[in-house]
């Protein structure tokens, strides 16, 4: 009897602590993965914009056209 009471006391919603720790770790990992993917996308958009600006500034034809249109 005493063993069954101890087993009953260590359950949360019918599952053991280990189950909930494992489930929490998986959910936390999934949330972290989504956040990292979001941050990488944000960083790549910024990098692409900077690369475009640098390429535009280094383009000789673009500079010549800008000088002609400025005059």
Q: Is the predicted pLDDT of residue 7 greater than 70, yes or no?
A: no
Q: Is the predicted pLDDT of residue 28 greater than 60, yes or no?
A: yes
Q: Is the predicted pLDDT of residue 66 greater than 80, yes or no?
A: no
Q: How confident is the model at residue 21 (pLDDT cuts 50, 70, 90)?
A: very high
Cα 16 to Cα 11, 20, 24, 29, 70: the distances in Å are 5, 7, 13, 20, 74
pTM: predicted TM-score of the whole model, two decimal places: 0.60
Q: Is the predicted pLDDT of residue 56 greater than 70, yes or no?
A: yes
Mean pLDDT to the nearest integer, 1-27: 77
């Amino acid at each position: 009897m005493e063993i069954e009471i101890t087993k009953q006391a260590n359950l949360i919603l019918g599952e053991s602590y280990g189950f909930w720790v494992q489930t929490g770790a998986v959910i936390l990992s999934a949330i972290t993965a989504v956040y990292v993917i979001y941050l990488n996308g944000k960083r790549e958009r910024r990098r692409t914009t900077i690369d475009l600006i640098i390429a535009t500034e280094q383009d000789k034809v673009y500079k010549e056209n800008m000088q002609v249109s400025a005059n």
